[in-house]
Amino acid sequence: MSPGPGRGAAITGWGSALPPRVVTNQDVTTLFDTSDEWIVERSGIHRRHHASGPFVAEADQPPAHPGDGVGSTATLAIEAGREALAQAGVTGADVGLLVLCTTSPDQAVPATSSAVSAALGIAGGAMDLNAACAGFTYGLVTAASLVASGIDRVLLVGAETLTRVTNFADRSNAFLFGDGAGAVVLEAVPGPGCLLGWDLGVDGTLVALLYADHGGPGMAMRGQEVFRRAVRVTVDSAELSLQRAKVGVDEVALFVPHQANSRIMDAVADRLGLPRERIASVIHETGNTSSASIPLALVDAARAGRLADGDLVLLAGFGAGMTWASAVWRWGTQ
């Protein structure tokens, strides 16, 4: 197919990966003064998976040369990507571009997508995309647009090892974060494709709300301020995407929000007028996995049979930056 309005993108395969070490809230209480009840009540998180940090054995920590051992962002991306390719019935040789969304790359140089591309045998280009927790939705819009522009197949992955930038001495946020990866294959289909409307944004004056410096102690966050703004920007962005897609909120079959805090997810759904039963949630199991959170929740819903061809899916995320992104996507290949 040639580029232009006659071609769009559809999702034809999906996969996910979580590191084996499960860290419970009870485990977290060994780090600082907190409790299972407090964490569950304030965040909805019961467990998360860690690839590195104090709960992971020395032998299983991420390797010095990432991509060739357990526990790295690349390793998780490879596992999720491999599963997505297999489900789509294709191999890396069929992929024209790998987009790896991550805010916890394995190295400063080069991009983590290089190691992932080599492991999966990807024939085309590869790049990292960092829009923090809004990353996967930024990536979905980018990938779908590039498919419309002429790339036949894109592997889109959200993968993180946030435990490498978590300050485990900071009880105000260390319990929130986890590691994991989710991936989808986007393929060209005739017609307009499945991306019906989208919105991407950033307010760079808000960098100080959430950041981790190179060589610093780890993540620093102003939790309440992030919470307030997250609800507002996610609702505004989702409404804009729905409007651009010419879709009413009652037509949304599944809402896949960034999994940062179940109270934020519920507040956003309530303000949008979406019944909470339509929320896709894995936060109790994964914590906040940044770029990986939306694909992990999407893949979980697809596996659970919550998505049928033609269903409208609303994705919406926010993150450090402060970034936000939303998209209305039609599930299936038509």
Ligand X SMILES: CC(C)(COP(=O)(O)OP(=O)(O)OC[C@H]1O[C@@H](n2cnc3c(N)ncnc32)[C@H](O)[C@@H]1OP(=O)(O)O)[C@@H](O)C(=O)NCCC(=O)NCCS
Return residues touching ligand X (CB under 6 A).
Answer: 34, 38, 42-43, 133, 171-173, 175, 210, 221, 223-224, 226-227, 230, 260-261, 264, 288, 319
Q: What DSSP string describes 224-276?
A: HHHHHHHHHHHHHHHHHHHHHHT--GGGEEEEEE--S-HHHHHHHHHHHT--G
Q: How far apart are CA 242 and CA 45, in angstroms?
A: 29
Assess whether 214 carries a catalytic annotation.
no
Distances (CA, A) of 64 to 70, 106, 130, 160: 11, 9, 22, 17
Least separation in angstroms between residue 74's CB and ligand X is 22
If the CB atoms of residues 157 and 260 are measured against ligand X, the closer one turns out to be 260
Q: CB-wise, 100 or 294, nearer to ligand X?
A: 294
Q: How far is the CB of 163 from ligand X (least distance, A)?
A: 15
Residue nearer to ligand X on the CB measure, 152 or 236 = 236
101 is catalytic: no
Which residue among the candidates 50, 133, 173, 261 is catalytic per the annotation?
133
Annotation says 50 is catalytic: no
Q: Alpha-carbon Rg of the chain, whole angstroms?
A: 18
- At residue 43, what are phi and psi to the nearest 5 degrees? -135, -20
CA 183 to each of CA 9, 98, 198, 223: distance values in angstroms, whole numbers, following the listed order: 15, 10, 19, 28
How many Å apart are CA 73 and CA 75, to the nearest integer?
6
Cβ 170 to ligand X, closest distance in Å? 9
User: Residue 31 is which amino acid?
Assistant: L
Length of the chain equals: 334
Q: Which is nearer to ligand X, 24 or 61 (CB)?
A: 24
Name the 3-class secondary structure at 183.
strand
What is the nearest approach in angstroms of ligand X to the Cβ of residue 182?
16
Smallest separation (angstroms) from ligand X to the CB of 298: 17
The residue of the chain with the least Cβ separation from ligand X equals 223
Q: Residue 56 phi/psi, 5° resolution?
A: -110, 130
Question: Rounded to the nearest whole angstrom, what is the least distance from the CB of residue 35 to ligand X in the complex?
Answer: 6
Nearer to ligand X, 226 or 299 (CB): 226
Q: Which is nearer to ligand X, 112 or 173 (CB)?
A: 173
CB-CB contact of 11 with 331 (8 Å):
yes
Catalytic residue positions?
133, 258, 288
